[in-house]
Amino acid sequence: MNHDIRSANRRSTVLWVLLLAATVFTWAVGEGGSGGAAIAALLLGVAALKGAAVILDFMALARAPLLWQLITLGWLVLVCALIGLAYWKGMP
C-alpha cells in the first residue's frame, strides 16, 4: 500500500509541474500580445486541457461515475465555447 501512495504522490507532483509549465507557457504567449485568433484558440485549448486535468485528477473524478465526469467536463466545454464565442464576436 505504501508503494501505491508514493506512486499516486509522484503522479500528482508530475501533473502539478506540467500544469505549472502550461501556465507559464500560456502567460508567456499571452504577454506577446500578437497572434490573433489562432493564438487565442491555442491558449483556450491549453486552458481546457488544464481544466480537464484538474477535474479528473485533483478533483478525483477519473474514478467517479460517468455522469459526474460528463457533467463537469461538459461544463468546462461549455465555458470554453462561450469564451471562444465571445472572443470571436469581439474580433474586428
Segment 33-53, tens digit of pLDDT: 777 888 989 999 999 999 999
**How high is the pLDDT of residue 81?**
96
What's the pLDDT score for residue 4?
78
Neighbours of 71 (CB within 10 A): 13
Q: What is the pLDDT of residue 1?
A: 57
pTM: 0.84
Low-confidence ranges of the chain (pLDDT < 70): 1, 92
According to the model, what pLDDT value does residue 44 have? 94
Sign of the dihedral defined by the CA atoms of residues 68, 72, 73, 75, in that order: positive
The set of residues, in sequence order, having a beta carbon less than 8 Å from that of 61 and lying 6+ positions away, is: 55, 68, 69, 72
- pLDDT, residue 92, reads 65
Q: Which residues contact 53 (CB under 8 A, 6 or more apart)?
A: 15, 18, 19
